[in-house]
């Protein structure tokens, strides 16, 4: 966490996608980006997190469909 905080102070941190616990203790797949906030009276950063489990599921389904299509092409006469 400390490394991310230090990076956020210097510049926008690239998106971070990972499984994370929700308040109800479920694991959800999220994408987040941290951006520094600096002015004369306040220094810190904000992290915006988006729940992207549906996108992750669609990516998995696309990959499965591609593998299936490739397998069909390989076994076609």
Give 63-73 pLDDT, tens digit per residue. 999 998 888 88
Rounded CA-CA distance 33/27 in Å is: 19
Could you give phi then psi for residue 56, rounded to 5 degrees? -60, -40
Q: 33 has which bridge partners?
A: 48
21-30 tens-digit pLDDT: 889 998 888 8
Q: What is the pLDDT of residue 3?
A: 56
Q: What is the pLDDT of residues 2-20, one digit of tens each?
A: 555 555 455 666 678 888 8
The answer to whether residue 77 scores a pLDDT higher than 70 is yes
Q: Is 55 left (phi over 0), alpha (psi -120 to 50) or beta?
A: alpha
Question: Which pLDDT belongs to residue 66?
Answer: 92
Mean pLDDT within 32-41: 86
């Amino acid at each position: 966490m400390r490394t991310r905080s230090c990076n956020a102070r210097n510049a926008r941190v690239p998106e971070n996608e990972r499984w994370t616990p929700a308040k109800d203790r479920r694991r959800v797949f999220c994408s987040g980006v941290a951006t520094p906030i600096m002015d004369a009276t306040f220094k810190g950063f904000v992290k915006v997190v988006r729940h992207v489990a549906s996108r992750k599921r669609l990516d998995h389904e696309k990959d499965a469909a591609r593998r299936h299509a490739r397998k069909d092409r390989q076994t076609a006469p």
